[in-house]
Chain A
Amino acid sequence: MSIASTAQFICFAALSITLVVGALGVVLLPNIVYSAFLLGGVFLSVAGLYLLLNASFVAAAQVLVYVGAVNVLILFAIMLVNKKENLAAIPGLALRRVLSGAVCAGLFALLLRVDLTTSWALPGPEPLGDEATLRIGEHLFSDYLLPFELASVLLLMSMIGAIVLARRDVLVSDVITGEPVDQGLIEKERIPLLLDRSALESSLLEKTP
């Protein structure tokens, strides 16, 4: 066994251990901020695996998009909704966890069996190495041109959709009728629309003499 392949094995082992431990931490840790940072570690180790697979462009895209954008977005969302709340106990939660764990273990066993018993057509053609980026560009502008354009439309749609969904309504007058709009939506102390009204109203009645 040469030094290069030994180094490859060591890198693979380190990355997989980081990946598995990080993924377990993401789903198991009680503090969600730690989960978000561990998720960043998982994304980075996946990028390392891509480098081991001779795919430098996708590894760079993974770091930029996942670590740079998605993970930061998740951290911002945690910051915006991070309210300490005591979750109400659900009957049978432990049983549900065990059952779903069994289902997931069964799924894993199934996938493991498929992975290990199928005779893959190995060895395949020689991997490209550094030319992979060139080849991806050729693909994106020839046979995958339509999905490429659709992806740009999808990104535009999701950007506009995210803005529409997350903003508060600040229009001064109604677009269609021209009437002044109730500005209660942008005030901070309004009652949320979907809360249980009866409890709130009774507490309000108690306050007013």
Chain B
Amino acid sequence: MSLELPTTIPLQAYLVLAALLFCTGVWGLINSRNAVRVLMSIELMLNGVNINLMAFSSYLDGQLIRGQVFAIFVICVAAAEAAVGLAILLSLYRNRETVDMERFNLLRW
């Protein structure tokens, strides 16, 4: 096994970067007290998934690039999710006067 540097960026570099971004997003999603930060963490996770799709599309599916089409659909769904999520957040804030996730416990057991 040779130890010389690869001449192009390896696929694994993108995959590791995407995994790191996704795990950061999961941690933020669990631990955020502010509801806006929860939405930002979801965006981080979606971006990690998108990096994965784009890397596979470029390295393994260079002619058909189905991954890029999927990434566009993910961006579209993320935009819809952000709009509805922030509208729900505004409505919650109006009724509760707080954005603390620990106090949104109306439906808790």
Contacts and interface: CB of A to CB of B under 8 A. Distances in A.
A193 interface: yes
Interface of A: 1-2, 5, 8-9, 12, 16, 19-20, 23-24, 26-27, 32, 35-36, 39, 42-43, 46, 49-50, 52-55, 57-58, 61-62, 65-66, 69-70, 73-74, 76-78, 80-81, 83, 85, 87-88, 90, 96-97, 100-101, 104-105, 107-108, 111-112, 115-116, 120-128, 132, 135-136, 139-140, 144, 147, 151, 154-155, 157-159, 161-163, 165-166, 192-195
Interface of B: 5, 7-9, 11-17, 19-28, 30-37, 39-41, 43-44, 47, 50-51, 54-55, 57-66, 68-69, 71-73, 75-84, 86-91, 93-100, 102-103, 106
B14 A166 contact: no
Contacts of B8: 5, 8
Interface of A is mostly: helix
A154 B76 contact: yes
Nearest to B63: A125
Contacts of A126: 62-63
Nearest to B88: A165
Nearest to A101: B27
B86 A104 contact: no
28 contacts: A16-B13, A20-B24, A26-B44, A32-B34, A43-B47, A69-B79, A81-B36, A81-B99, A85-B99, A88-B100, A97-B31, A104-B26, A104-B27, A108-B20, A108-B23, A124-B60, A124-B62, A127-B62, A128-B63, A154-B76, A154-B77, A161-B87, A162-B83, A162-B84, A166-B86, A192-B96, A195-B95, A195-B96
A55 to B, nearest CB: 5
B65 A135 contact: yes
Nearest to A47: B47
B79 A65 contact: yes
A147 B73 contact: yes
